[in-house]
Amino acid sequence: MVRPTKIPATKYPVERLTLGNGLRVVLSPDRSASVVGVAVVYDVGIRSEPEGRTGFAHLFEHLMFQGSENLEKLAHFRHVQGAGGTFNGSTHLDYTDYFEALPGNALERALFLEADRMRGPRLTDENLRNQVDVVKEEIRVNVLNRPYGGFPWLKLPPVMFDTFPNAHDGYGSFVDLDSATVDEAAEFFQRYYASGNAVLAVAGDLDVAEAQALVERHFGDVPERPAPQRPSFAEPDLTAERRAQYTDPLAPLPAVAAAWRVPDPGADLTAYLPYVVLAEVLTDGDASRLVERLILRDRSATSVGGYIGAMGEPWEVRDPTVLILQAFLPPGGSVDKVLRTVDEELDRIATGGLAPGELARTQARMATHLLRESDPVISRALRMAVLEQQRGRPELLNELPRLVASVTAEQVVAAAATLRPERRASLEVIPGVQA
């Protein structure tokens, strides 16, 4: 009898409340160190962008750092860094986050700053044009002038999906970015940056009663606006294989990425989890199936990776989402051979099961990563905020390692059996640079 992997559990406390304006609040005290993490997550991301405004969610994230009705540009930066803290924000498929990590005695400062820009960022034509230029430069640096830029997270979705929300370029086209107006930014703020569409999470050195009072003081009078109704982004699964290719003039070697749809992580976490584990069984470490086969034995690939979601966020994504496998090949490498090998390894799992110890080893590694990721208070606050927003259960953070360890070999085998070529979308990168 194979015993389930024993995984240590975290017991981070969770206190939840909702303000009168609809803002959901998650507090997780940890007095072990005098640091605090503050995260505000808005339920708007790349999938929420209107047609003709690709990149708008990311552009607006930039605008939120350009001052507010009460604070001038760069004041947010100065107040956080002056307290010895760090800050940032990021845009994802299904949410946008803003966060600070500071000494514990600077908690009120962070709450004031986040509440201030929740009331209203400084939306001016000067700020808009400046940040359009900043985002365009990001695209030049990260996509247009970088080998494999946008591969696969920008390039693969339009092969897999048909609808604009799921398939479009989340970084944005220069035409759409240049056409953005202040009025559109103001409408975007009014619609999506409502208190009822946000979650505030605070983790670290805090007293719950004092923190509640501070949250109420700074966020309680933020004008109430309800959350907009989130549309369904569902679309049918593939019934025939899709393949596409493009030439990357900067890429020195060929590459390929393949994706399959997986179950809805929000509606059926039990059905979803085996796919998260399967991706790691296939690609995590030298003993994993595809690393051992493609790199160490066949030498048909130079590197292999596997993950859930175009942005690699298995715990912070909604349906529809995908399992992605990607590989970089040696000079003259065959994409067809790599895809055949992937199919063979999936068939081996589906028909022959997992090797002794294979699942336990993978689950132990995954649990270790989860435990390490939740150690910094800012990571804890961010994940709890998203879990509250998407699942209504921030305490799921404590349960994830155990849930990963509860996945059975039979469930992983069944998941592998569903990853058939007729459900696959693949994208080949043809190198434009001679290796």
pLDDT in tens, 371-387: 999 999 999 999 999 99
Confidence band for 3, pLDDT divided at 50, 70 and 90: low
242-431 CATH: 3.30.830.10
Whether residue 5 is predicted with pLDDT greater than 90 in this model: the reply is no
Whether residue 2 is predicted with pLDDT greater than 60 in this model: the reply is no
- Each domain of the chain, given as residue ranges in start order, spans 15-219, 242-431
* β-bridge mates for residue 36, sequence order: 102, 204
**CATH number of the domain at 15-219, out of 3.30.830.10, 3.40.50.300, 1.20.1740.10, 3.40.50.12780?**
3.30.830.10
Same CATH topology for 15-219 and 242-431: the answer is yes
Write down the pTM of the prediction. 0.96
Q: What average pLDDT does the chain have?
A: 96
